[in-house]
Amino acid sequence: MVSKKTELLVGIFVALGILALLMLSLKVANTGISGGGETYQLQAKFDNIGGLKVRSPIKVGGVVVGRVSKISLANDDYTPVVTLDIYTQYNNFSEATSVAILTSGLLGEQYLGIQPGFVDESLDTLKPGDFIEDTKPALVLEELIGQFLFSQGSGDE
């Protein structure tokens, strides 16, 4: 009888350990079981999105205010269109807001950084489905290195 009780306790302990590891991995990945709450969508067109991925964070001053939900190509000019899911508590971005693709560290993941525009009575706030007009594309490290090498090689000697 003691061995059955011990086996049951060990089984419960192992199940709790697996559950704790699952919750820890979700917390580290910055996702949740619920998904983060109510959101509204904005869109932005970029010349180059670099390594931006779906579920990349959207930050304002380091605070996560949403996630990238979709990346597609525009039908008319084949430029990348990024759909942003912004949490509804951050619903007062003005039309003067800009968005840039930034990198965490030198070789880290890419994310969207929003620079809120000034609030003025003459400017409206962005509504769900609106486009953010002021965008800055990703800096691609390989292109920067190539430009540096070609600029060094083209000097007069």
Q: What is the CB neighbour count within 10 angstroms for residue 8?
A: 10
User: What count of other Cβ atoms lies within 10 Å of the Cβ of residue 90?
Assistant: 16
Q: How far apart are CA 136 and CA 148, in angstroms?
A: 21
Residue 137 has pLDDT above 80, yes or no: yes
Tell me the whole-structure pTM to 2 decimals.
Answer: 0.68
Q: What is the pLDDT of residues 55-69, one digit of tens each?
A: 999 999 888 999 999
Indicate whether 35 pLDDT > 70.
no
Res. 43: pLDDT tops 60: yes
Residue labelled with tokens 């970029």: 46
- Whole-angstrom CA distances from 27 to 22, 61, 67, 85, 128 are 9, 21, 15, 20, 28
pLDDT mean over 85-100: 88
Cβ-in-10-Å burial (0-12, 13-18, 19+) of 156 comes to: exposed
Identify the CA nearest to 57 among candidates 128, 94, 109, 22.
Answer: 109
Token reading at 65? 């205010």
The radius of gyration computed from the CA coordinates of the chain, to the nearest angstrom, equals: 23
